[in-house]
Amino acid sequence: MDCHRAETYVLDLLRRHLSPTLLYHGPHHTLDVVEQADSLARAEGITDAQELALLRTAAFYHDSGFLTTYQGHEAAGCALARQALPGFGYTEAQIELICRLIMATQMPQSPGNSHLAQILCDADLDYLGRPADFWPISQTLFEELKTRGRMADETAWLELQVRFLGSHRYWTPTATARREAAKQQRLAEVRIRLAELRNSQNGLSS
């Protein structure tokens, strides 16, 4: 399998054809997930070259479905993988594994007992536990959702963040050790910001 060509192909599609309103789900997010998946896999002791390659391909294709749809983009990404990857020498079994990894990232995440799927899920939401990145990256997701009419205002967004951060879990020991404590700190900050916003709104309405 020619992984490099497969990766170059989809990255070129993302850079040329993704909507500019995808402020969060842009090529920069895909490249971040690829980097984090590589890092987590090695820290988690994945040494098999083919497993590493298939995980990396899944990371490159995991959000490619946004090229054609917003809702259900994981399935659309699998369709693209099934269409494109045979031309780069991937076998049917390899492509099906890649698709299982992609589908595991659908919210709520469902990696099951698959170590590679757990790694990809953790890489996809790595930013939740990165102190310097959480607020600017989460703001791009808020703006993306607001642009698409999927988020009413900042209050609704912060309420969603509290629910999401409160229910989210990292699946691998490495991600838990690296990110969980900082994620809990971000959750506390979101709760404070939400309380302040509600207090200011109550003050304006009284």
Domain boundaries defined on the chain: 1-124, 126-206
- Report the CATH number of the 1-124 domain: 1.10.3210.10
Residues of the chain whose pLDDT is less than 50?
Answer: 206
CA 112 vs CA 16, 120, 135, 146: distances in Å: 34, 12, 29, 32
Q: Which amino acid is at 80?
A: L
Measured at the CA of 139, the angle between CA 134 and CA 141, to 5 degrees, comes to 100
* pLDDT at residue 204, rounded to an integer: 60
Question: 83: part of which helix (H) or strand (E)?
Answer: helix 73-84
Residue 133, class by beta-carbon neighbours within 10 Å (0-12 exposed, 13-18 middle, 19+ buried)?
middle
Rounded-to-integer distance, Cα 182 and Cα 127, Å: 10
CA distance 136 to 156: 18
The answer to whether 168 touches 182, Cβ cutoff 8 Å, is no
Residue pair 5/60 in contact by the 8 Å Cβ criterion: no
Percent of the chain with pLDDT over 70: 98
**Own/partner pairs, 150-158, CB within 8 angstroms, 24+ separation:** 154/197, 155/194, 155/197, 155/198, 155/201, 158/190, 158/193, 158/194, 158/197
In the prediction, which pLDDT does 203 show?
Answer: 67
The average confidence (pLDDT) of the chain is 96
pTM recorded for the entire structure: 0.95
Which pLDDT does position 156 carry in this prediction? 95
The pLDDT score that the predictor gives to residue 202 is 75
Q: Among all chains, which residue has been given the structure tokens 């098999």?
A: 48
Q: How far apart are CA 4 and CA 23, in angstroms?
A: 26
Is the distance from CB of 72 to CB of 102 less than 8 angstroms?
no
pLDDT (0 to 100) of residue 205: 55
